[in-house]
């Protein structure tokens, strides 16, 4: 495997991933606002049917309460932290000394989480899905925006060297081994950015390590075989 060839492919891969994240973020923002507007009216109708007769609420009062509930739903989603990122922590020793990594990376099941109410079954689940979709879409848009910025700042040549090591191994590679392979490198500038590469898999069993998804290696092989 020629290093220059892998470097060119990986640089193009990161460029395409960055553009995809930008487009996804741009599309999701207006969509989330449209869904938020629809959610407001769902809340309004729910309050108008279920609570207006009980408490003799005016239409204006129902409107204000609907805005308040929508704001609480958005605030609750963001205060509890992003559902679309996973925490990754590592601390160990290598030839260069102590290696400590602590960062967030994009969750691999972001689109699944978007439509998972995560609560009881039945009518409550349906309502939760309707109420949570808008803030989750907006949160996913923010995550994609931040991911695009991180990909843009990635040290592509340094990261491609680690990708080459993972491709040669074709199995789990401990973080300590990566640190020993590149003692001159700052792992905090290499390992965290790889968390934003869709084909890089972070493993926790039997110690922290990295490997590549088969589809990632297949995509490179198909590119390399092109005339």
pLDDT tens readout for residues 4-62: 788 888 889 899 989 998 998 999 899 989 988 988 888 888 888 877 777 777 878 88
- Which carries the bigger pLDDT value, residue 124 or residue 187? 187
Q: What pLDDT was estimated at residue 19?
A: 92
Chain centroid to Cα 161, Å, comes to 24
Report the chain's mean pLDDT, rounded to a whole number: 76
Q: Among candidates 30, 6, 10, which has minimal Cα distance to 18?
A: 10
More confident residue, 159 or 87: 159
Residue 1 has pLDDT above 60, yes or no: no
Q: Is residue 116 scored above 50 in pLDDT?
A: no
Is residue 107's pLDDT more than 50? no
Q: Is the pLDDT of residue 99 over 60?
A: no
State pTM to two decimals: 0.73
Most confident listed range (35-44, 82-91, 101-110) = 35-44
Q: Which residues of 96-133 are buried (b: 16+ CB within 10 A; e: fewer)?
A: eeebebebbbbeeebeebbeebeeeeeeeeeebbbbbb
Q: Is 74 helix (H, G, I), strand (E, B) or coil?
A: helix
The pLDDT value given to residue 22: 93
């Amino acid at each position: 495997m020629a290093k220059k060839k892998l470097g060119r492919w990986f640089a193009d891969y990161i460029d395409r991933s960055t553009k995809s994240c930008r487009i996804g973020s741009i599309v999701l923002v207006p969509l989330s606002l449209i869904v938020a507007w629809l959610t407001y009216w769902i809340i309004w109708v729910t309050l108008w049917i279920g609570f207006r007769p009980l408490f003799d609420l005016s239409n204006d009062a129902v409107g204000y309460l609907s805005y308040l509930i929508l704001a609480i739903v958005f605030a609750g989603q963001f205060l509890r932290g992003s559902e679309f990122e996973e925490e990754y922590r590592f601390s160990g020793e290598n030839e260069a000394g102590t290696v400590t990594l602590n960062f967030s990376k994009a969750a691999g099941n972001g689109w699944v989480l978007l439509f998972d109410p995560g609560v009881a079954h039945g009518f409550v689940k349906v309502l939760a899905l309707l109420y949570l979709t808008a803030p989750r879409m907006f949160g996913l848009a923010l995550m994609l925006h931040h991911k695009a910025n991180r990909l843009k700042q990635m040290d592509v040549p340094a990261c491609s060297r680690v990708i080459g090591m993972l491709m040669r191994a074709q199995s789990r590679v401990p973080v300590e081994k990566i640190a020993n392979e590149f003692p001159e490198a700052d792992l905090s500038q290499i390992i965290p950015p790889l968390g934003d590469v869709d084909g890089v898999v972070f493993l926790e069993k039997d110690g922290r390590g990295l490997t590549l998804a088969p589809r990632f290696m297949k995509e490179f092989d198909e590119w390399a075989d092109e005339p």
